[in-house]
Copies of this chain bind each other. A is one copy, B any other.
Amino acid sequence: MTERGRPRTFDRTTALRRAMEVFWAKGYEGASMSDLTAAMGINSPSLYAAFGSKEALFLEAVELYTQVEGTDIWSALEKAPTACQAVERFLRQTAKAYSQTDRPQGCLIALGALHQDSSRGAICDDLRRRRAENRAALLRRLERGVAEGELPADFDCRVAATFYATVQHGMSIQARDGASRAALMATVAGAMAAWKGMAGTDT
């Protein structure tokens, strides 16, 4: 069961990563097929043969983004010993990732396709689903904090999860506006100042 036919002359994963960077920088509708094929170093028939369509390519690129760029942020959330530290490290990793100067600033999932009608619905829905999943991950971590007795039983995990997810989304726009890493970290400090008020604890 080896491969039949003429082998492709480019590395599929490398090309996909290039496409991810284009979508990341320009958004779904702002990235033209010319932009994509130029960045990927292939012609459009090769792109269609390998990925199916612009829409399918975008969905694969977002999945790659989630796995590659999101790991540090979300593992910080899971691995920290306390919920408070988890949220803080989560936000600090976000600030660090969003202010990298060797790649587009802000988050592909937050900024990739915000306007429903223009982009074919599936694109917008996929990103929305991923944003909802991110908020759900925050919520689970906070509920774990309640279950472990770290947070008071009446701690409103939903409100806190929504709040911190919103801050993270805002940081994407802030980063797109050219905010420095220090400025993003200051926002993190502001967001963590809310912790005491919400939890009644300072850990």
User: Which residues from chain A sit less than 8 Å from chain B, CB to CB?
Assistant: 25-27, 29-31, 110-111, 114-119, 128, 131-132, 156, 158-160, 162-174, 176-177, 179, 183, 186-187, 189-198
Q: Is the CB–CB distance between B30 and A115 below 8 Å? A: yes
Q: How many Å from the CB of A186 to the closest CB on chain B?
A: 4
Closest Cβ–Cβ distance, residue A34 to chain B (whole Å):
12
Interface of A is mostly: helix
Contact for A186 among B159, B174, B190, B196, CB less than 8 A: B159
A120 CB to closest chain B CB (Å) equals 12
Cross-chain pairs A/B with CB under 8 angstroms, 20 sampled: A25-B116, A27-B114, A27-B118, A30-B115, A30-B117, A31-B118, A114-B176, A132-B177, A159-B187, A160-B190, A162-B179, A162-B190, A163-B189, A166-B171, A166-B173, A166-B174, A190-B198, A193-B195, A194-B194, A195-B197
- What chain B residues lie within 8 Å of A29 (beta carbons)? 29-30, 118
Chain B residues near A159: list those with CB within 8 A.
186-187, 189-190
